[in-house]
Amino acid sequence: MNPSVVAAHKRIGLLQKFNKWQGKAIEKMQKSMDKMVSKIKSLEKKVSGSSNKKKKAATAPTFLRSRSLLTTPRRPPAQEPHRASSLEPREGEDNSQRRRKSSKVRRSSSTTGLD
């Protein structure tokens, strides 16, 4: 038989063993999760059964609010003005004017060295 076929069969066998082990592990986890869910549900029933009587009597007077808080309109927070970006042109000055000024300076410095 071809060696690559033999190697492929070995790998397939390993994958099948791993898959079987993984399935068993998932089944165990599922059983433990089911147990936990049933315990949580029983605890919820106990808690809800014991606190229903107390909640009805206690909730009414604790959440009263004054009328002044309900009638005042809410205002959004004040926004700060936008900051000037260094990439945007300054007021009264074009980018083309800035380029011209800087390019003249470069020319004069480059020509002075040649004289």
For the stretch 2-17, pLDDT in tens is 999 999 999 999 999 9
Burial 38-74, CB ≥16 within 10 A → b, else e: eeeeeeeeeeeeeeeeeeeeeeeeeeeeeeeeeeeee
CB 89 within 8 A of CB 95: yes
pLDDT of residue 30: 97
Residue 96 has pLDDT above 70, yes or no: no
pLDDT of residue 79: 78
pLDDT of residue 80: 76
For the stretch 19-78, pLDDT in tens is 999 999 999 999 999 999 999 999 999 998 876 555 555 555 566 666 666 566 667 777
